[in-house]
Amino acid sequence: MKIRFYNARILTMEKDSHIHTGELWVENGIISYIGSREDAVNREKPEWDREIDARGNLLMPGFKNAHTHSAMTFLRSYADDLPLQDWLFQRVFPMEAKLKPDDVKSASKLAIMEYLTSGITANFDMYFFPEQFIEASIECGFRTVMCGQVSGTDEEADDILNRLTGYYNTFNNKHPLISCRLGFHAEYTTGRKVMEGIAELAQKYQAPVFTHNAETKKEVDECIARYGMTPTMLMDYMGMFMYGGGGFHCVWLNDEDIEIFKKHDMSIVTNPGSNTKLASGIAPLTRFLDNGINVAIGTDGPASNNCLDMFREMFLATGLQKLRNNDAAAMNAMDVLRMATVGGAKAMGLKNCDILAEGKAADLIMIDLHQPNMQPLNVIEKNIVYSGSKQNVKMTMVNGKILYENGEFFIGEDPERIYADVNDLIARCKEA
């Protein structure tokens, strides 16, 4: 497809960039031109499949949802109002044990639809039966980075490590929209021998490693009781982060943990909605940024959040920091917007779609500025973070293909069929 956007406001998210008015051209999934209408006059124009008058609306990079458990859509509103450990072990894990591979595919497509409505063009997913989520992503045309979903005891170590190796090698060569990073669930669900094996894989493949880390104080205290170290210190001691990586949540990092993240140029993926709902705490994002650590934003899963909405996450990311620091000036809106876009792209290894620039993949969104919550246009970037919502996502494009526009989905699937499949899934699991 060859698509021309004109009369657009454009925010590239390049360092120190500002909103400008102009045109953006997409040819075969790639941004072929971005600039003023005047400069475009002298360029050779292809025969357009479509020309879109943006009417002064904003084009910007799509949001990168840097921590997800997509298929947990089937548990939305099922396991609410419980502490994390009870939520996991009493409600979530027993239901997940009833899942079949095809269930994950249906539930994942529901999540992808919700991502698109929120302007999310890529996700960093961790869940069972990853092959099924990958199939769902490919069929929908959505960009996905898989994070190895493994956990278990030392007695299962060989099988776990073989499975993780298979994921890494297979998924990184599967499809242009799919990539994979080494990862595991968490220290408290994974045996030491397994973690040491993952550290060896990281060194073998010179690869980063990601995991849930310091989500709750209880998790950190129990790790110290077992090993005499925090989860971050333990994994660093094992040599897991020689090639970087990161942690999901990172609410309860201490000073030494932060230094380890800084030393290895690791990323922190904050999940403010999930951490608020599960009362896990407020991650010290301002400290992370002050230490030069890359911060990204994730929604977590739809059972712990329950809304896969990047606008809500951005507002919480800045609002909770203001409360934590007792400082209304803490956490500038532009910093949060960077977390949701280029910060997520860096954590996920998506160098080809982090910003809007010629030669980059056309993963972009159009924000409708002709809505009451976007007016007046004092500072558009701040409007997005402080007053923006899903209603402002007019269009979501991934790899040059429009997957969502004006409330309609173009993912090769009837939305009502997806809704029915997921409702059938949760009904069956409740009965089993």
Nearest to 96 by CA among 126, 134, 141: 126
pLDDT value, residue 42: 85
Mean pLDDT over the full length of the chain? 96
**CA distance linking residue 185 with residue 153, whole number of Å:** 12
Q: What is the pLDDT of residues 370-380, one digit of tens each?
A: 999 999 999 99
pLDDT value, residue 221: 98
Q: Biggest alpha carbon distance in the chain?
A: 68
All residues at 6 or more sequence positions from 150 whose CB lies less than 8 Å from its CB, including other chains: 160, 161, 163, 164, 183, 184, 185, 190, 194, 198
Nearest to 69 by CA among 353, 345, 413, 306: 306
Here the tokens at position 226 are 């077992």
Proportion of the chain above pLDDT 70, given as a percent: 100
**In degrees rounded to 5, what are phi and psi of residue 71?**
-70, -5
**CA distance linking residue 303 with residue 277, whole number of Å:** 10
Q: What is the pLDDT of residues 181-223, one digit of tens each?
A: 999 999 999 999 999 999 999 999 999 999 999 999 999 999 9
Here the tokens at position 214 are 């310091």
Give yes or no for residue 368 having a pLDDT over 80: yes
Q: Tell me the average pLDDT across 169-190.
A: 97
**CA distance linking residue 106 with residue 390, whole number of Å:** 23
Question: Which H/E stretch holds residue 10?
Answer: strand 2-10
Give yes or no for residue 382 having a pLDDT over 80: yes
Q: What is the pLDDT of residues 67-126, one digit of tens each?
A: 999 999 999 999 899 887 888 889 998 999 999 999 999 999 999 999 999 999 999 999
Give yes or no for residue 169 having a pLDDT over 90: yes
SS3 186: strand
pLDDT band at residue 418 using 50, 70 and 90 as cut-offs: very high
pLDDT band at residue 160 using 50, 70 and 90 as cut-offs: very high
Structural contact between residues 22 and 10, judged by C-beta atoms closer than 8 angstroms: yes
Nearest to 49 by CA among 2, 117, 10: 2
All residues at 6 or more sequence positions from 93 whose CB lies less than 8 Å from its CB, including other chains: none
- pTM (predicted TM-score): 0.97
pLDDT value, residue 41: 87
Q: Tell me the average pLDDT across 421-430.
A: 94
pLDDT value, residue 149: 85
**CA distance linking residue 59 with residue 115, whole number of Å:** 17
Q: What is the pLDDT of residues 289-316, one digit of tens each?
A: 999 999 999 999 999 999 999 999 999 9
Q: What share of the chain is helix, strand, coil (3-state, %, to 5)?
A: 45, 20, 35
The single-letter code of the amino acid at 342 is V
pLDDT value, residue 79: 86
**CA distance linking residue 158 with residue 197, whole number of Å:** 9
Give yes or no for residue 229 having a pLDDT over 90: yes
**CA distance linking residue 345 with residue 376, whole number of Å:** 30
pLDDT value, residue 84: 76
Q: Tell me the average pLDDT across 21-48.
A: 94
Give yes or no for residue 30 having a pLDDT over 90: yes
**CA distance linking residue 201 with residue 138, whole number of Å:** 27
Class of domain 2-61+361-409: mainly beta
Question: Using CA of residue 391, residue 392, residue 394, residue 399, what is the dihedral sign?
Answer: negative
CATH code at 63-348: 3.20.20.140
Nearest to 146 by CA among 126, 128, 166, 116: 126
**CA distance linking residue 58 with residue 356, whole number of Å:** 12
The domain locations on the chain are: 2-61+361-409, 63-348
Helices (H) and strands (E) in the chain, counts: 17, 17
Here the tokens at position 16 are 């120190």
pLDDT value, residue 85: 80
Neighbours of 261 (CB within 10 A): 26
DSSP string, 102-141: HHHHHHHHHHHHHHHHTTEEEEEE--SSHHHHHHHHHHHT
pLDDT value, residue 88: 84
Q: Tell me the average pLDDT across 5-34.
A: 97
Q: Tell me the average pLDDT across 319-340.
A: 97
Here the tokens at position 348 are 């996920």
pLDDT value, residue 35: 96
